[in-house]
Structure 1
Amino acid sequence: MSYRVGIDTGGTFTDLVVVADDGAVELFKTPSTPAEPHEAIGNALELASRARGATVPEFLDGCELIIHGTTVALNALLTLRGARTGLLCTAGHEDSLEIRLGHKEDGHRYDFAYAPAPMLVPRRLRLPVRERVLADGSVRQPLEEDDVRAAAELFRAEGVEAVGVCFLWSFRNPAHEQRAAEILAAELPGVPVTASAELLPQLGEYVRANTVAVNSYVQPRLGRHVEQVEGLLQSYGYSGSLRYVQSNGGLTGGGAFVRRAAAALNSGPAAAPSASSYFAGETEAAGIVTLDMGGTSADMSITEESAAADLVKDATVGRYPIGLPMVNVVSIGAGGGSIASVDGRGILRVGPESAEAMPGPACYQRGGVEPTVTDALAVLGYLNQEALLGGELPISVELAREAVRSRVAEPLGISVERAALGVFEVINANMVAGVRTVTVERGHDPRDFALLTGGGATAAHAGRLAADLGIDEVLIPRVSSGLCAFGEAIADAKHTLVGSYPSPLPELDAARLESLLAELEERGRQQLREEGFADEEMWSERYLDMKYIDQVHQCSVKIPEFEIVPERLGEIADAFHARHEALYTYSEHDNVPELLNLEVTVYGRSGLPPREAGDGAAPAAAPQPRETRPAFFAEHAEEARQTPVFAGEDIGVGAAIQGPAVIEEPTTTIVVFPGWELRLVAPDLYRMARAG
């Protein structure tokens, strides 16, 4: 039997999921090693191998594909520990990065005390090059190659580790950028060079330049990680395929992954929609909200009814705008390790500070003294009172109670239980706000969606979150705590290519637009062919970035599958009006839509076949609880309720459990709140819904 492996490196744990060709799934977790992330990958491979009574080389012999998602690029950007970076600009435009768009990011636009984001490329390393391409692609001033060589000499003296090139209108005529990149490669061997016309060939100088700067800034560190991972696998004799998760949720090879390092910023969380699509057959909701709550953060994303992930091209990551398409993932500091505290005004706050893996929550008995969300869950009786992770992680409820008592209950003058409920409610409110960001602010009503849990912590919160959001249905995969690794293991390859064709819709040349889109699609298909995909395994989607003339707000419109001819431009206009109204609450049918940029996403099928919904078999008998224990719920804040505790392995397909109840799986805990019912609808999936 062959299988594929998904490996997701998170801030607290590294997850490894094995998916066999018959659909069987196994999950292994090991603590992450942030200083050298590849070491945790080796540890996870050891765990999976031992479970089979095999060595790592023997285990890898049966593996046809390994998919890896990593936060290495993201961490380099967020911690500002990237490479020393240089940037070549059209003479006179060296300061576009610092000018930004004339304002700060949203939320701080008029706050004069708010410092702008640090420059990734200092002024002395942003160098001018005499050249000029005009908006129509014609050359006004030829490239002064000596300027490029002089810049290379300065970069060498400064110890620059990566270089970006961003010239005006290069997406209309890339010749100058291409030649500058050739000169830099010759003058600075071993130093990666990123040209904007290759990375992001579309309108918008600032976002294009910033994306290039970010790409160069994180590229060396990401490249080192990829080398270490591939070296590790080679040391075990692995000869199968290895792919990496991009921010758009698709897979690519190691070379493209490093070249487009800015497309790796959301590498891990972007795989969650693949898992959501896999389970979508179990719900009739309009889409799925995926909430992945781990040890340090919670990631939210949506998958629409079409099973397509919600992509954005105007994301801001670590205060830096990125123009590359990426899954719309909202991350907040809300995890099991989020620290609770009472500020000087007597207000309870939870997160974003985290106890992380070390020392971790107080109940982990590793020296932590700050109360965390996990400690609150232990006090409330939601967690096993002796150990987590199937008995591998002993905990102390007394230490949890002491942390909550001393840091929350006493400052507020309330009981320990009421304080723990307060921590629980505040962290839930934070996550509800995050879910509204990916739904309401994107033109969706969360009440039309189902909630799918990811991460080891979410299932303890899901029922309360759903109630607060007006969601009637929660899907809880048994592989929840490794959801991203599972999504990686079943994801398809994906390449997104962009171009630019600014034109009012009534004036554009339909034949030219069709030709440009076809050219982008063929480039994507060629990349997939080089990765081993046959044409019959490929399909594509087309999008246009559009706005109203003389207005700022723009949106991405999916084009129906037809050849673009003048007679069908009206259908594109109608699709734009509808999308604009969904996003911004209004449309202007008497205004003229304007085309800005083009996008084509080409897919290569590499995931599992679509999952069949539950077969409707006769319900299994109700299981017997392993024990009962006192637990506290908001409905009875000061009074414990004797709550049945079930082992997941005792629950048969079709069995239903009424809340309140607790279900303990090896890597996650499900809390069924009063008024809710949990049912195992398939061997790999629970569904929780309002009772009655």
Structure 2
Amino acid sequence: MYRLGIDSGGTFTDFVLSGEDTLNVYKTPSTPSDPSQAVRDGLELVADDLDTDIAGLLSSIDIIIHGTTVATNAIIEHTGAKTGLICTAGHEDSLEIRLGHKEDGHRYDMEYPMAEMLVPRYLRMPVRGRILSDGSEYEPLHEDDVYKAIERFKHEGVEAVAVSLVWSFANPEHERRVVEIIEEELPDVYTSVSSTVLPQVREYTRTSTTVVNAYVKPTLDNYVEQVDEYLHEHGFDGQIRYIQANGGIGSSESLRARPAYAINSGPAGGPAAGLHLGRQFGSEDVITIDMGGTSFDVSLTRDGSTEIRKDFDLMRYRMGLPMLQVETIGAGGGSIAQLDRGVLKVGPESAGADPGPACYDRGGTRPTTTDALVVLGYLNQTELLGGRMAIDADASWRAVAEHIADESNLDTETAAAGILEIVNKTMVDGIRQVSIEKGHDPRDFTMVCGGGAGPAHATGLADELGIGRVLVPKTASVLCAYGEVVSDYKHNTLASYPSAITDVDPEDLEAVFASLEAEGVEQLRTEGISDEDISLKRVFEMRYQNQIKECEVEMPATEITDEWLSELREAFDRRHEELYTYAEPETAVDLINIESVAYGKVTPPDVEGVLSADNELSDAKSGTRDAYFERAGGFVETTVYDGSLVPSGAEIDGPAIIEEDTTTIVVNPGWHARLDEVGVYELTTGN
């Protein structure tokens, strides 16, 4: 039986098919107008390659894991549901006030526009009634206000309703009654409830997250229904799973219950792939990069744990759910190069899949990063994707010449080298955001490189950062899809527990965690995970008294005792010092929020030897071509290798170019490449 990973990207939709002796990689152009069409196209491509039909293919697959961008795109493009908000009277404008926050870089920019509200003012409806911070009822719920709100929603054709009442996480009874009324009066409208979505303190974060959850729900539902229906119509009776923003996989039902976890679903597979590959080479300290056609994603994993972020702005909307910290930058193979008042810029505007770079010959005429790589000799001059996609190298030269070189009095090659340098600097800045700016030295990490475009830049980026080892898997172009195949199940359950740590009752805190953990474990069991494959972790958000921000501390799920709480306090001091260079052991500490993380272990596929050719390295030499290397002083004759013929254990010195079916690896001068038996090129440098 096979396991199939599907990752929907902005330019391509990627597929990884793994089995006992199989690891096949496929790519098909994405279809932004109907993302589910790309899934259907890809399945046909896989079936044709295996000489079967869709039904035959699906009958041989045990589990399909999918990462989708539909929820993210709904936020970016503002194409989500028409959403209403029911909130406590007097709090209708918390979404717009945004705690007075303006994005970094725009704090003093008086002309910077406000974020477009996902719920317009006339659909933010107040209801009277009040719960206090201790969970007691100060004023009963005024149900007539709820009915008035519903009449407005009916008249306006609202498709989803978010409900966020003050202190509802301490006592959700008012919210529950509001939901009962909505379900009676608007049975076809989706309801997103803050006490279920994010039952933690901080009204603005909780309300914004609940609104986002409601806004993307119908779009996600429609997409999941299309995919599931198509698969079932063709006889698939295996498991359908989705990668979540927290980096774990879950069922369709669990994702539809918490649709906000579909945001950043696709990129969340990258860190899992990076850690899995890093461990095969003895490293749990990994920087994972993934450069596709539209964007560049980067994440950092330290000691086997990828950074998680909460209470942050995603596309200008505050989110409080735990999500992997994957920084996304507008630097991809399709990033457009242009002169802005004489200054060369690359991205964030992208040619995307349609029309794509000029060399794709689909109507694009503006130069992109990919066109610069063609001009510099890094990419094949006639075809990509193992011959399945013809390209026009002359079109790349014309685009770079007409739009950059001629207007800046440069030769075309120099202009292309400038494009490469700028896009590399942009990506280096992104890597520094998750490493140096967080107190990590990138030289201590292994870089795992993915994306169809990434391996052409990898050694150049590593040179800039002082990283001495880069891992490039043969599956690099489908890194997130590969990450989906090796990801574990993961479910987060949250609660608030505001208390000074010295006042915590161990038995009470243990009881709260027992309830949270039971919820996560039951979800895993319904998804087919056996108890021996389930593990738990506890996360605490803590701060020194009178501080504004908390920091997270992870602890094992063992019985909470007074001694255990002392260990938690010590762990907090250590974590605070790691983050901020100091600790205050004598200062009182407050516990604010708690979280249970339930993991379901998945056995990753064994790919040893699957991707290796059985021949001599000399058989893999497909020719030479001139390629540009600044360290070598310009263009030099460079040996080109056919990656499908490179045998396991082969060693290649740079400068060299290795052409895999779906990516191209550029080995800079001073670098050495070795193909490991697990199908990974280990690139090292003595510099």
Partners of 1:454 and 1:609 lie apart in 2 by 18
Q: Given residue 200 of structure 2, which amino acid in structure 1 is its aligned partner? A: Q
Q: How far has the Cα of 1:221 moved from its partner?
A: 0.8
The structure-2 alpha-carbon separation of the partners of 1:110 and 1:510, relative to structure 1 and needing over 3 Å to count, comes to farther
Distance in 2 separating the partners of 1:418 and 1:582: 44
Q: Which residue of 1 aligns with 2:660?
A: 665
For 2:334 and 2:672, how far apart are their aligned partners in 1? Answer: 28
Give every structure 1 segment of 4 or more consecutive aligned residues whose post-TM-superposition deviation is greater than 6 Å. 609-614
In structure 2, the residue matched to 1:8 is 7
- Alpha-carbon offset, residue 580 of structure 1: 1.9
Q: What corresponds to 2:447 in structure 1?
A: 451
The residue that corresponds to 2:410 in the other structure is 414
How far apart are the structure 2 equivalents of 1:23 and 1:619?
A: 19
What residue in structure 1 maps to residue 419 of structure 2? 423
**1:338-359 deviation per Cα after TM superposition (whole angstroms, max 9, x unaligned):** 0111111x22110001111111
**Contact 1:281/1:612, CA 8 A, preserved across alignment:** no
- Contact kept, 8 Å, 1:620 with 1:654, in 2: the verdict is no
Given that 1:619 and 1:655 are in contact with CA atoms closer than 8 Å, whether structure 2 keeps it comes out as no
Q: CA deviation at 1:532?
A: 2.3
CA drift at 1:636: 3.9
1:191 is displaced (CA, Å) by: 0.6
Aligned to 1:37: 35
Offset of 1:132 from its aligned partner?
A: 0.8
Q: Would you say the 8 A contact 1:677–1:689 is kept in 2?
A: yes
Q: Give distance in 1, aligned partners of 2:114 and 2:580.
A: 27
What is the Cα deviation at residue 609 of structure 1? Answer: 6.3
Q: Equivalents in 1 of 2:65, 2:269: separation in Å?
A: 10
Question: Which residue of 1 is the match for residue 680 of structure 2?
Answer: 685
Partner of 2:373, secondary structure, is helix
Residue 90 of structure 1 pairs with residue 88 of structure 2: yes
Whether the aligned pair in 2 keeps the contact of 1:163 and 1:216 (CA below 8 Å) is yes
Q: Which stretch of structure 1 is more off in the superposition, 528-537 or 196-205?
A: 528-537
Partner of 1:164: 162
Structure 2 spans left out of the alignment, 5+ residues:
none
Match of 2:670 in 1: 675
Structure 1 partner of 2:265? 267
SS of alignment partner, residue 559 of structure 1: strand
Give the structure 2 partner of residue 179 of structure 1: 177
CA deviation vs aligned residue, 1:429-448 (integer Å, no higher than 9, x gap)? 10111111122233322111
State whether structure 2 residue 583 is matched by structure 1 residue 584: no
How far is the alpha carbon of 1:562 from its aligned partner?
3.1
**Candidates 640, 643, 647, aligned match of 1:648:** 643
- What is the alpha-carbon distance in structure 1 between the residues aligned to residue 530 and residue 622 of structure 2? 52
Q: Could you say which residue in structure 2 is the equivalent of 1:405?
A: 401
Supply the distance in 1 between the matched residues of 2:441 and 2:45 (Cα, whole angstroms): 42
Measured in 2, the distance between the counterparts of 1:592 and 1:469 equals 40
Residue 364 (structure 2) pairs with residue 368 (structure 1) = yes
8 Å CA contact 2:536–2:557 kept in 1: the answer is: no
Equivalent position amino acid for 1:684 in 2: G
Question: Residues of 2 paired with 1:448 and 1:277: CA distance?
Answer: 15
Amino acid of the structure 2 residue aligned with 1:582: E
Pick aligned residue for 1:229 from 227, 230, 236: 227
How far apart, CA to CA, are the structure 2 residues paired with 1:610 and 1:522? 32
* Alpha-carbon distance in structure 2 between the residues aligned to 1:459 and 1:138: 58
Asked if residue 48 in structure 1 is aligned to residue 46 in structure 2, the reply is yes
Q: SS where residue 269 of structure 1 aligns?
A: coil
One of 442, 445, 459 as aligned partner of 2:438: 442
List per-residue Cα deviations over 1:486-510 (Å, max 9, x = no partner): 1112222111111101112222222
Q: Which moved more, 1:79-88 or 1:660-669?
A: 79-88
Q: Is the 8 A contact 1:281 1:611 kept in 2?
A: no
CA shift, 1:561, in A, is 4.5
Change (3 A) 1:610 1:181: farther
AA at the equivalent of 2:264: N
Residue matched to 1:206: 204
- C-alpha separation in 1, matches of 2:352 and 2:617: 40
Structure 1 distance, partners of 2:507, 2:416, is 63
The answer as to 2:98 corresponding to 1:70 is no
Shift of 1:49: 0.7
Aligned to 1:477: 473
- Larger CA deviation: 662-671 vs 11-20: 11-20
Q: How many residues in Structure 1 have an aligned counterpart in Structure 2?
A: 686
Task: Check whether the contact 2:644–2:661 (CA below 8 A) recurs between aligned residues.
Answer: no
Mapped to 2, the partners of 1:169 and 1:620 lie a distance apart of 69
Does structure 2 retain, via aligned residues, the 8 Å contact 1:622–1:657? no
124-133 or 280-289, larger mean C-alpha shift: 280-289
- SS of 1:523 mapped into structure 2: helix
Aligned to 2:148: 150
User: Is contact 2:11–2:353 with CA below 8 Å preserved after alignment?
Assistant: yes
Q: C-alpha separation between the residues in 2 aligned to 1:23 and 1:328?
A: 33
Counting aligned pairs with the same residue, the percent is 49
**Contact 2:310 2:320 survives alignment (8 Å):** yes
Q: Deviations over 1:161-183 (max 9, x none)?
A: 00010011111111111111111
Report deviation, 1:285: 4.0
* In 1: Cα distance, 2:199 partner to 2:655 partner: 55
Deviation, 1:624, is 5.3
Q: 1:103-124 CA deviation, whole Å, 9 max, x = no partner?
A: 2223222322111211111111
Q: Give runs of aligned pairs for residues 118-517 of structure 1, distance below 5 A.
A: 118-306=116-304, 308-344=305-341, 346-517=342-513
AA in 2 matched with 1:504: A
Q: 1:388 to 1:310 in 2, by over 3 A?
A: same
| TM-score normalised according to structure 1 size | 0.96
Contact 2:129 2:140 survives alignment (8 Å): yes
Structure 1 residue 315: deviation in Å?
3.0
The Cα of 1:82 is off from its aligned counterpart by 1.1
> Contact 2:291 / 2:454 at 8 angstroms: preserved in 1?
yes
Q: Deviations 1:108-152 (Å, cap 9, x if unpaired)?
A: 223221112111111111111111111111111122222212211
1:172-216 CA-to-partner distances (Å, cap 9, x unmatched) read 111111111111111101111011000100011000000011111
- Matched residues in 2 for 1:620 and 1:558: separation? 49
Q: Structure 1 residue 238: deviation in Å?
A: 1.1
SS state of the match for residue 598, structure 1?
A: strand
Q: Aligned residue for 1:545?
A: 541
State the Cα deviation string for residues 405-459 of structure 1 (Å, max 9, x = none): 1211222222211111111111011011111112223332211111111110000
Change (3 A) 1:137 1:487: same
SS in 2 for 1:101: helix
Going from structure 1 to structure 2, the CA distance change for 1:193 and 1:418 (only over 3 Å counts) comes to same
Matched-pair contact (CA < 8 Å) for 2:615–2:646:
no
Tell me the secondary structure at the aligned position of residue 137 of structure 1.
coil
- Aligned-pair CA distance for 1:42: 0.6
Q: In structure 1, what is the Cα distance between the partners aligned to 2:423 and 2:322?
A: 30
Per-residue deviation at 1:223? 0.7
In structure 2, the CA distance between the partners of 1:23 and 1:90, relative to structure 1 (3 Å rule), is farther
Conservation of the 8 A alpha-carbon contact between 1:278 and 1:611: no
* 1:589-604 → structure 2 map (5 Å cutoff): 589-604=585-600
Instruction: Read off the aligned partner of 2:415 and give its amino acid letter.
Output: A
Q: Distance in 2 between matches of 1:324 and 1:683?
A: 35
- What's the offset of the Cα at 1:623? 5.6
Cα shift at 1:569: 2.2
User: Counterpart of 1:666 in structure 2: which amino acid?
Assistant: D
Between stretches 468-477 and 434-443, larger displacement belongs to: 434-443
- Cα distance in 1 for residues equivalent to 2:435 and 2:590: 26
The answer to whether the Cα contact below 8 Å between 2:179 and 2:191 also exists between their aligned partners in 1 is: yes
Aligned letter for 2:246?
A: N
Q: Which amino acid aligns with 2:92?
A: E
- Using the TM superposition, give the Cα deviation of residue 680 of structure 1 relative to its aligned residue in structure 2, in angstroms: 0.3
The verdict on how the C-alpha distance between 1:409 and 1:351 changes in structure 2, with shifts beyond 3 A counting, is same
1:622–1:655 Cα contact (<8 Å) kept:
no
1:236 shift after superposition: 0.6
Q: Deviations over 1:646-670 (max 9, x none)?
A: 1112211111100000000000000
Q: State the shift of 1:45 in Å.
A: 0.6
